[in-house]
Amino acid sequence: MFLAYSRRLSGKVRSASANAELAYFLSFVAGAINAGGFLAINQYTSHMSGIVSQMSDMAILGEFSMVLWCLGAVMAFMAGSATTAIIINFARHCYLQSEYALPIFIEACALIFFGLLDGIQWDYSWLWTSLTVATLCYIMGLQNAITTDISQYKLRSTHVTGTVTDIGMELGKMFYWNRASKKDPTIQPVQSDYKKFKLLVKVLILFFIGGLVGAYGFKTWGFMFTCMMASILVYLSAGPLIDDIKTILFALNQPPVVLEQPATIATLLNEPTTAEIAEAEELSTIETEEVLRTEEDHADEIMPTAEPQKVSE
């Protein structure tokens, strides 16, 4: 039962309800990391809009060190998304069950690494800040790509700009009066997707609740709070990962297949080898000589020696 729910959330076989529940968990974790990370490093890392705008401002003000800092954050976010894409496609081609669980597990490991950074004291504070920001941006990109792939580019979990936009569009459809469709039956009435609306609202609320929990957690326990968030991600990925590990171990423990003769390219292609060709030619020569010898003996038996004729006197 414990692992069954994990398999349902992050397993290869997907359903609409499982996609929604996984989005709820990831949105909660993203809100906690984003809000808590702000208290830790005074920087939001879930959305790239503000970071790119900050990079533009710093370029105009001549703060080129900050431009490089923002550029590194953007590149880290892109690296996280690329990592998810590579893992998902590799797992699909290898027929693994953990195509979504493995990126979630890597996110948990990155969170633990982020928590361990608090215990590292460096003489160069800017390097420590840059590494922590890059780690958080990498985590955000990693998770955002997971939700994007599962929802077929319809949902994001690490920032709520698109979520709020979609909620506003669904509200607009709800309050639309459809006068034109009443006058002209050929015009399709405007209808709101109520299921999508509920999903978006829940994602927004859970992101906000996660922010409250993350802010309180970082304020109370500091960087160690990341271990609590990482434990949630480890649970989400546990079921499919354990299934793949069992499958791999079972395949490794199977006895090797021993062939009676060493397989060569010729035998695999069902083609005769050089030795087989030489043996066949030798047998053909022997058979040909035997046939010729038999024909000569048979000819001697059929045609006896002719007696000389007597000359008449």
Give the residue extent of every domain in the chain: 2-244, 265-291
Q: Answer positive or negative: Cα dihedral of 256, 257, 262, 268.
A: negative
Q: Are 280 and 272 in contact (CB under 8 A)?
A: yes
The predicted structure's pLDDT at residue 312: 47
pLDDT score recorded for residue 197:
92
Residue-wise DSSP of 59-104: HHHT-HHHHHHHHHHHHHHHHHHHHHHHHHHHHHHTT-S-TTHHHH
Longest CA pairwise span in the chain (Å): 150
Q: In this structure, are residues 273 and 266 in contact, taking their beta carbons and an 8 Å threshold? A: yes
The Cβ of residue 25 has, within 10 Å, a number of other Cβ atoms equal to: 19
Q: What is the pLDDT of residue 295?
A: 63
Phi-psi region of 190 (alpha: psi -120 to 50; beta: other; left: phi over 0): beta
Give residue-wise pLDDT tens across range 128-173: 777 888 888 899 899 889 888 888 767 777 778 888 998 999 999 9
Strand intervals (E) in the chain: none
- CA 57 to CA 59: how far, in whole Å? 5
Token pair in block for residue 298: 């048979």
Res 2: pLDDT: 76
Q: How far apart are alpha carbons 65 and 67 in whole angstroms?
A: 5
Q: Are 203 and 163 in contact (CB under 8 A)?
A: yes
Report pLDDT for 121: 60
What is the DSSP code (8-state) at residue 42? S
Predicted pLDDT at 148: 86
Query: CA distances (Å), 187 to each of 176, 183, 227, in order?
Result: 14, 9, 55
Q: What H or E segment, with its residue span, contains residue 202? A: helix 194-221
| pLDDT of amino acid 272 | 60
Tokens of residue 267, six digits: 């035998």
pLDDT one-digit tens code per residue, 16-26: 889 899 999 99
Residue 50's pLDDT is what? 82
pTM of the model: 0.74
pLDDT of 90: 93
Architecture of domain 2-244: Up-down Bundle (1.20)
CB distance 10 to 99 below 8 Å: no
Identify whether the C-beta of residue 218 lies closer than 8 Å to the C-beta of residue 39.
Answer: yes
Low-confidence ranges of the chain (pLDDT < 50): 266, 311-313
